[in-house]
């Protein structure tokens, strides 16, 4: 697998507001968030980084902690982790100069280090023995979610925490042609059954692979040496309905992988 590409903060002088606005206008943004008073990135998805971090039970004081934001994209959560005192790292398959991350880092004067690569490449370079990892909006986009959780666990120190958020099987399912499917979701949620929807990279009209029930997501993480401490649910009546799982887990064993078959 190709090595990750490392991007460090440039040693720029302070940018004027005019220079900052010009830089912001020069790249494509996904997240909409404030960089300076009156300077908001023109993204399509509003992102309140403080509220997102609080909802995942990320500590307000991260001084002395080494933390990683997986799936950082434009970086609003990375910079919030740094604001809380952490030595912050970001990992994403996106080139930080083609999305907003590099510009935001310059405007904010951030020292966060960006790694352009895949979650499957963890642990790597300085991304090991981490105190905390955030993986928000990641696992359901992956073709190999259990492998991803194994890699995430491998990058954490024992007792470190993984703070997660993503699509869950709570109130909506569709067939392989994208048509809604009727399921007794109330009975499913009562059963605690580890069920998972599987799609060939297409669900809700986007690049999505696996949609686990809460029990299935717990099973994914247990297989990787992670114990879920807290898991919450969020649903909406949108069309299609929103259904999300979020919370955090702790690394409880050094061996982050379970054998697929016992040895004799």
Q: What is the pLDDT of residues 204-238, one digit of tens each?
A: 999 999 999 999 999 999 999 999 999 999 999 99
At residue 193, the pLDDT reads 94
At residue 220, the pLDDT reads 97
At residue 2, the pLDDT reads 65
Q: Tokens 């907003």 identify what position?
A: 100
Of 190, 192, 188, 191, the closest CA to residue 228 belongs to 192
Reported as a pLDDT band with limits 50, 70 and 90, residue 179 is: very high
Rounded CA-CA distance 231/58 in Å is 14
Region 252-264 average pLDDT? 79
At residue 105, the pLDDT reads 97
Reported as a pLDDT band with limits 50, 70 and 90, residue 1 is: low
Reported as a pLDDT band with limits 50, 70 and 90, residue 258 is: confident
Which of helix, strand or coil describes residue 63?
A: coil
Average pLDDT of the chain?
95
**Number of helical H runs and strand E runs in the chain:** 7, 14
Q: Is the pLDDT of residue 3 over 80?
A: no
DSSP string, 212-235: E-HHHHHHHHHTTTEEEEEEEEEE
For the CA atoms of 3, 5, 8, 10, the dihedral, rounded to the nearest 10 degrees, stands at: 150
Q: Tokens 């909506």 identify what position?
A: 172
Torsion 19-22-24-28 (CA) sign: negative
Burial class of 147 by CB neighbour count within 10 A (0 to 12, 13 to 18, 19+): middle
Region 46-69 average pLDDT? 97
Q: Is the pLDDT of residue 177 over 80?
A: yes
Region 84-107 average pLDDT? 97
The answer to whether the CB of 214 falls within 8 A of the CB of 195 is no
The answer to whether the CB of 195 falls within 8 A of the CB of 216 is yes
- The structure's pTM equals 0.95
Rounded CA-CA distance 53/79 in Å is 11
pLDDT in tens, 114-142: 999 999 999 999 999 999 999 999 999 99
Rounded CA-CA distance 200/198 in Å is 7
Which of helix, strand or coil describes residue 155?
A: helix
Of 122, 118, 96, 108, the closest CA to residue 8 belongs to 96
Q: Is the pLDDT of residue 11 over 80?
A: no
Q: Is the pLDDT of residue 12 over 90?
A: no
Rounded CA-CA distance 252/211 in Å is 25
Burial class of 229 by CB neighbour count within 10 A (0 to 12, 13 to 18, 19+): middle
Task: Tell me yes or no: is domain 5-14+49-251 CATH 3.30.470.20.
Answer: no
Q: Is the pLDDT of residue 109 over 70?
A: yes
At residue 13, the pLDDT reads 66
| Domain map (residue ranges) of the chain | 5-14+49-251
């Amino acid at each position: 697998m190709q090595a990750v590409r490392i991007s460090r903060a440039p040693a720029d002088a302070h940018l004027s507001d005019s220079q900052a606005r010009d830089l912001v206008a020069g790249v494509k943004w996904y997240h909409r968030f404030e960089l300076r008073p009156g300077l908001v990135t023109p993204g399509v998805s509003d992102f309140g980084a403080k509220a997102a971090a609080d909802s995942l039970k990320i500590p307000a004081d991260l001084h002395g902690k080494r933390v990683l934001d997986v799936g950082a994209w434009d970086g609003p959560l990375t910079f919030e982790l740094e604001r809380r005192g952490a030595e912050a790292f970001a990992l994403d398959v996106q080139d930080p100069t083609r999305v907003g991350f590099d510009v935001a880092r310059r405007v904010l004067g951030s020292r966060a280090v960006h790694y352009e690569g895949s979650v499957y490449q963890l642990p790597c370079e300085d991304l090991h023995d981490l105190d905390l990892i955030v993986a928000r909006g990641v696992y359901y986009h992956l073709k190999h979610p259990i492998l991803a959780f194994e890699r995430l666990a491998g990058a954490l120190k024992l007792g470190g925490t993984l703070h997660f958020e993503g699509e869950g099987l709570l109130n909506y399912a569709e067939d392989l042609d994208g048509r809604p499917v009727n399921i007794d979701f109330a009975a499913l949620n009562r059963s605690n059954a580890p069920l998972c929807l599987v799609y060939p990279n297409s669900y809700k009209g986007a690049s999505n692979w696996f949609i686990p029930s809460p029990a299935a997501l717990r099973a994914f993480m247990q297989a990787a040496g992670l114990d879920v401490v807290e898991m919450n649910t969020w649903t909406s009546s949108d069309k299609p309905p929103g259904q999300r799982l979020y919370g955090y887990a702790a690394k409880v064993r050094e061996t982050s992988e379970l054998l697929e078959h016992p040895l004799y």
